Amino acid sequence: MKQRVIDAISHELQREFVLEKPANLSFGHYATPLAFSLAKELKKSPILIAEELSARFGNVGIFQEVTAIKGYINFKLSPTFLDSYASWALENEADFGKDTKEETILLEYVSANPTGPLHIGHARGAVMGDALYRIGSHLGYTITSEYYVNDAGNQVDLLGLSLYLSGREQILGYPVSWPEQFYRGEYIVDLAQVAYKELGEEIFNDESNIERLSSWGKDKMLELIRSNLADVGIVFENFVSEKSLYSAWDASFEKLQHSGKTYEEGGKIWIRSTELGDEKDRVVVREDGRPTYLAGDIIYHDNKFERGYDHYINIWGADHHGYITRVKAAIHFLGYNETKLEVLLAQMVSLLKGGEPYKMSKRAGNFILMSDVVDEIGSDALRFVFLSKKSDTHLEFDVDVFKQEDNNNPIFYINYAHARINQIFAKAGKSLDDVKGVSLAHLSEDGQNLLFSALLLPEVLEDAFSSRQVQKVTEYLKNLAASLHKFYNENRVVGSDEEVALLKLFAVVALSLRTGLKLIGITAKDKM
């Protein structure tokens, strides 16, 4: 819809301009401040320029009215145009909001260590990434979703040790000496029990089996993580093992050295990341010759960029903020364009229940499990609340709110609007086919405004994806549901002279609610 307006104005003006949406629809559906930018060039008042330009749009068919107000040019779309677009949308539901893009994107998210179940901190990045994947794919981008498995390093070794000691203590009854660091929680005991059944008692009889337990335990945790993600509708196309990439370290290291941006000091190999804004240079090879944690990221991003995507998006936890500059520096030294990498940060989540801090899970130790929250409020509510605020801002919510069946629960409120429309159709004894052909050109101003709002979904999706702010979709859905409820409460529908037209209007609202929810991973309810 917005693009049609841009095309119509561009055809008439033959110059670039900014198109905005007035806060008050009574001024028009769109507006441009073009007259202000032309004032200096034409040496005229913006008010006079706006009046002259607005007069040129009198015969442009998609506009009902074009007016000049205090230097702004306001465009009001014609009811005929809105009706035509609405009819097309109802006939082509699967294509509503779709577009074609040339850009290819590799989207990496979650990438939690495979050493335990997913907690709510992981869940925020997971839901954010999946929503971006769904929306971007709908808009026509070619997107690959990827999970980077951190299966190399101390954390996986520590998982094996924790399982080994737990099995000896809890299953075989031997006294053990626990190290200062180990994985806690009932899930470790449960996993040791599974190891006992699958691998036999002998797995806990010799320390040489710890490496085997580490690999076995990592695979089991990945199965659990996949299951946790599937429970909220998240499925990845690619899983990339960090451990499998280390065979390529020599090639990546050679690229770094070829850049001339490495040096040796204190027996270590460093990269000159300060040259690209890092607070200090970083070690990539330890004194004993082993690559550092950063080296894993270097190999992985070398692998990513070799695959030739146009753009790369990483969603990391907010605690990884300091890694952005050093990783981008390494990408530059590898010979790639580091500006192609975009890093989004997901802030932590604070969870309440009845106004009090939510209890930590005994199964996980000092964490709140994502699966526990899903069991309590459901996948839909979890997804919606995690998308309700910008990902780099702190999020706090009370699970009890999402159990309420009232206006305080936004997902209930939106679903109720969709179900209400189905109920109204049933009460009227009409189907969508009965109303598709009716004209909406004679709707009241309030009806036209509701129709315009319902048809804005494609623009909201474009804006949400390009700005990486998916909360714009959840906010839009809440506002559209509120507008529907308000309009219904103020207007008689079933049995009115405008019944069929109003039903078509409501069908468009339902389409946008249904499509918007689907693109954030939620299936709209038909009955409540």
Average pLDDT of the residues of the chain: 94
- Whether residue 58 is predicted with pLDDT greater than 80 in this model: the reply is no
Distances (CA, A) of 444 to 24, 64, 79, 501, 505: 17, 14, 10, 11, 11
Residue type, 82: L
Determine the pLDDT at residue 9.
Answer: 83
For residue 378, with 0-12 CB atoms within 10 Å meaning exposed, 13-18 middle and 19 or more buried, which class applies?
middle
Q: Which residues pair with 345 in a beta bridge?
A: 316
Percent of the chain whose pLDDT exceeds 90: 83
Calpha distance 417→512 (Å, rounded): 11
Q: How many CB atoms lie within 10 A of CB 473?
A: 24
Q: CA 128, 129, 131, 137: dihedral to nearest 10 degrees?
A: 160
Q: Where are the beta strands (DSSP E) in 206-261?
A: 238-241
Determine the pLDDT at residue 151.
Answer: 92
416-433 average pLDDT score: 97
Which of 293, 282, 163, 290 is closest to 217 using CA atoms? 163
Residue with tokens 């049609």: 4
- Band of residue 53 on the pLDDT scale cut at 50, 70, 90: confident
Q: Where are the beta strands (DSSP E) in 168-265?
A: 238-241, 262-265
- Band of residue 85 on the pLDDT scale cut at 50, 70, 90: very high
Contact at 8 Å (CB) between 111 and 118? Answer: no
The mean-pLDDT minimum among 49-63, 284-298, 318-332 falls in 49-63
Determine the pLDDT at residue 329.
Answer: 97
Q: What is the CA radius of gyration of the chain?
A: 28
For residue 71, with 0-12 CB atoms within 10 Å meaning exposed, 13-18 middle and 19 or more buried, which class applies?
middle
235-260 average pLDDT score: 95
- Band of residue 383 on the pLDDT scale cut at 50, 70, 90: very high
- Band of residue 437 on the pLDDT scale cut at 50, 70, 90: very high
Calpha distance 138→154 (Å, rounded): 40
306-310 average pLDDT score: 98
- Band of residue 163 on the pLDDT scale cut at 50, 70, 90: very high
Q: pLDDT digits over 492-528, tens only? A: 999 999 999 999 999 999 999 999 999 999 999 999 8
- Whether residue 59 is predicted with pLDDT greater than 80 in this model: the reply is no
182-207 average pLDDT score: 94
Q: pLDDT digits over 315-363, tens only? A: 999 988 999 999 999 999 999 999 999 999 999 999 999 999 988 776 7
Which residues 6+ apart lie within 8 Å of 339 measured at CB? none
- Band of residue 16 on the pLDDT scale cut at 50, 70, 90: confident
**Crossing angle, helix 370-377 and helix 120-138, to 10 degrees?**
70
- Whether residue 426 is predicted with pLDDT greater than 80 in this model: the reply is yes
Which of 130, 27, 139, 14 is closest to 77 using CA atoms? 27
444-470 average pLDDT score: 97
| Element spanning 144, H or E | strand 142-149
192-201 average pLDDT score: 97
Domains of the chain: 2-77 (3.30.1360.70), 104-147+238-346 (3.40.50.620), 148-236+350-403 (3.40.50.620), 410-518 (1.10.730.10)
Report the sign of the C-alpha dihedral through residues 130, 131, 134, 137, in that order.
negative
- Whether residue 6 is predicted with pLDDT greater than 90 in this model: the reply is no
Determine the pLDDT at residue 14.
Answer: 76
Query: What would the two tokens of residue 409 be?
Result: 């629960």
- Whether residue 364 is predicted with pLDDT greater than 90 in this model: the reply is no
pTM of this structure: 0.93
Contact at 8 Å (CB) between 295 and 282? Answer: no
Q: pLDDT digits over 398-408, tens only? A: 999 999 988 89
- Whether residue 114 is predicted with pLDDT greater than 80 in this model: the reply is yes
Calpha distance 239→114 (Å, rounded): 12
- Band of residue 5 on the pLDDT scale cut at 50, 70, 90: confident
Residue type, 90: L
- Band of residue 42 on the pLDDT scale cut at 50, 70, 90: confident
Determine the pLDDT at residue 366.
Answer: 75
Determine the pLDDT at residue 7.
Answer: 85
Calpha distance 112→224 (Å, rounded): 12
- The DSSP code for 369 is B
| Element spanning 323, H or E | helix 323-333
- Band of residue 87 on the pLDDT scale cut at 50, 70, 90: very high
Q: pLDDT digits over 258-289, tens only? A: 999 999 999 999 999 999 999 999 999 999 99
- Whether residue 157 is predicted with pLDDT greater than 90 in this model: the reply is yes
Query: What would the two tokens of residue 271 be?
Result: 């990269």
Which of 457, 415, 436, 419 is closest to 501 using CA atoms? 436
Distances (CA, A) of 401 to 156, 376, 377, 481: 38, 11, 9, 18
- Band of residue 434 on the pLDDT scale cut at 50, 70, 90: very high
